C-alpha cells in the first residue's frame, strides 16, 4: 500500500497543509492542499512576540489541519516552523501546545534549510536547464532567495524582509506614497547587496516565484485579463507572468487604498494589506537585475519536503493518534 504523508508548513502569514501519497519510487500525488490565515507575526514580529490573538489563531489552525489529516488517514506527519517561530520568544510554548493538543512534533528549521526545501519544491514545476535561475519565496517573516539550476544550488539566503516585518517597520500610508516607496527601495538595496552581486555574477535572467504572493499576482492578472494566456514551460504547475501584465498590476496596486483592494478580484482577504509591499519587492528585484522573464510555481517548501522524504526514504513522524 502506498505511503500517505501530511506536511504542515507553519508560516508567518499562513499555516499550509499538503497530504500526498507516494506514487512509484520517486514521485507522489497530491491528495489535498489547503491553507489557513493566521498572521502569527501581527503587531509583534520585529520584537520577537506572538500576541495572544495570533497565538490562538495559530493553534486553532493547527487543530483544523489536524482534523483534516485524520480524516484523510495520513500515516506520517512532517511539521515545520519558519521565520515567526524561529524568532519568537514564546515559540517553544507554541510548539509544546501543538504537541499537547495533537501529538505533532514541530521542527523549527533555519532559513538555509527553508531555502533548500523551496528549491526542491520549485524544481519539480519548471523545466530548469543548465542556466542559472533566481527562486524567490516571499513570506511574512522572511524572504528566501536561491540561485540554482536544474542540478544544484549555487547560493541561497534567507532575508528578514518578510512582508509582516516590512509592514510593522514602515507602516505605509493608504495608499502608499512615492516618498515611502523610495525609502523602502533604498532599504531593499542596503539589505540585498550580496544578492544583487551574486545574481549578476551568475547572469541570472529568469525569476521563479514560489506560490504565495505569486499565486495572487496570477489570480489578479487572470481576473483583469479574462482569458489569461499561460505558458507552462512543459509543466502544469508553473505559469508565466508577462512583464507587461505585472507592470500594470504593480501600478494598480501601489495606487490603491485598502478599501479599493477589498473589491479587487483574485486578491485574497489575508493579502489585502501585504500585497503592495510584496509587489514592490518583486518590482525592485526585476528592475535591479534587468530580469524580464518570470514564472509562478505552485510548489514550494511543502512539496520540497515530500521530494526529500521520497529521495531519502525518511518516514517522518508516525501518525498514531
Set out the domains of the chain in order of their start, with CATH numbers: 4-110+302-318 (3.30.420.40), 125-298 (3.30.420.150)
Give me the pLDDT at residue 311, please.
79
Give me the pLDDT at residue 281, please.
98
Give me the pLDDT at residue 179, please.
98
Give me the pLDDT at residue 234, please.
46
| E-strand stretches of the chain | 4-10, 14-22, 28-37, 76-81, 107-108, 133-138, 143-148, 153-159, 206-210, 238-241, 293-297, 317-318
CA nearest neighbour of 85 among 141, 37, 157:
141
pTM over the 0.85 mark: yes
Give me the pLDDT at residue 313, please.
63
> Is residue 2 classed as helix, strand or coil in its secondary structure?
coil
Contact 254, 282 (CB under 8 A): no
Contact 94, 85 (CB under 8 A): yes
What would the 3-class secondary structure string for 96-158 be? HHHHHHHCCCCEECCHHHHHHHHHHHHCCCCCCCCCCEEEEEECCCCEEEEEECCCCEEEEEE
- 211/175 Cα distance (integer angstroms): 25
C-alpha cell at 71: 480524516
Contact 31, 4 (CB under 8 A): yes
Give me the pLDDT at residue 232, please.
46
Sign of CA dihedral 73, 77, 83, 88: positive
Which residues lie closer than 8 Å to 106 by C-beta, 6 or more apart? 8, 10, 79, 80, 81, 85, 94, 95, 98, 99
Contact 83, 142 (CB under 8 A): yes
* Angle at CA of residue 295, ends 293 and 301, nearest 5°: 135
User: Which portions of the chain are predicted below pLDDT 50?
Assistant: 231-234, 315, 317-321
Place of cell 518590482: 283
Give me the pLDDT at residue 3, please.
84
Contact 132, 119 (CB under 8 A): no
Give me the pLDDT at residue 125, please.
92
Angle between helices 301-312 and 111-122 (to 10 degrees): 80
- 182/189 Cα distance (integer angstroms): 11
Give me the pLDDT at residue 320, please.
36
- 286/280 Cα distance (integer angstroms): 10
Give me the pLDDT at residue 48, please.
93
Which residues lie closer than 8 Å to 142 by C-beta, 6 or more apart? 12, 82, 83, 111, 114, 158, 159, 160, 161, 162, 165
How confident is the model over 274-290, as pLDDT tens digits?
Answer: 999 999 999 999 999 99
Amino acid at each position: 500500500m502506498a505511503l500517505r504523508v501530511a506536511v504542515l508548513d507553519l508560516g508567518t502569514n499562513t499555516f499550509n497543509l499538503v497530504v500526498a501519497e507516494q506514487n512509484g519510487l520517486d514521485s507522489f500525488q497530491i491528495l489535498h492542499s489547503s491553507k489557513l490565515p493566521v498572521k502569527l507575526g501581527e503587531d509583534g514580529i520585529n520584537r520577537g512576540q506572538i500576541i495572544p490573538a495570533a497565538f490562538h489563531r495559530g493553534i486553532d489552525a493547527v487543530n483544523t489541519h489536524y482534523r483534516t489529516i485524520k480524516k484523510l488517514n495520513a500515516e506520517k506527519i512532517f511539521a515545520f516552523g519558519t521565520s515567526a517561530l524561529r524568532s519568537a520568544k514564546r515559540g517553544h510554548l507554541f510548539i509544546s501546545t501543538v504537541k499537547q493538543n495533537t501529538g505533532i512534533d514541530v521542527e523549527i528549521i533555519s532559513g538555509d534549510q527553508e531555502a533548500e526545501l523551496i528549491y526542491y519544491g520549485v524544481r519539480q514545476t519548471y523545466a530548469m536547464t543548465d542556466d542559472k535561475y533566481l527562486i524567490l519565496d516571499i513570506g511574512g517573516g522572511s524572504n528566501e532567495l536561491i540561485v540554482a539550476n536544474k542540478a544544484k544550488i549555487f547560493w541561497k539566503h534567507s532575508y528578514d524582509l518578510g512582508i509582516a516585518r516590512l509592514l510593522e517597520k514602515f507602516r505605509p500610508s493608504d495608499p502608499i506614497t512615492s516618498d515611502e516607496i523610495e525609502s523602502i527601495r533604498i532599504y531593499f538595496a542596503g539589505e540585498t547587496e550580496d544578492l544583487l552581486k551574486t545574481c549578476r555574477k551568475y547572469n541570472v535572467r529568469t525569476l521563479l516565484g514560489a506560490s504565495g504572493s505569486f499565486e495572487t499576482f496570477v489570480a489578479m492578472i487572470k481576473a483583469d485579463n479574462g482569458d489569461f494566456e499561460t505558458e507552462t514551460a512543459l509543466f502544469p504547475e508553473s505559469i508565466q507572468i508577462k512583464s507587461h501584465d505585472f507592470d500594470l498590476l504593480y501600478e494598480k496596486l501601489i495606487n490603491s487604498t485598502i478599501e479599493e483592494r477589498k473589491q479587487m478580484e483574485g486578491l485574497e482577504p489575508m493579502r489585502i494589506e501585504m500585497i503592495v509591499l510584496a509587489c514592490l519587492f518583486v518590482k525592485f528585484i526585476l528592475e535591479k537585475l534587468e530580469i524580464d522573464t518570470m514564472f509562478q510555481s505552485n510548489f514550494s517548501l511543502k512539496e520540497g519536503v515530500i521530494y526529500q522524504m521520497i529521495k531519502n526514504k525518511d518516514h517522518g513522524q508516525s501518525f498514531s493518534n
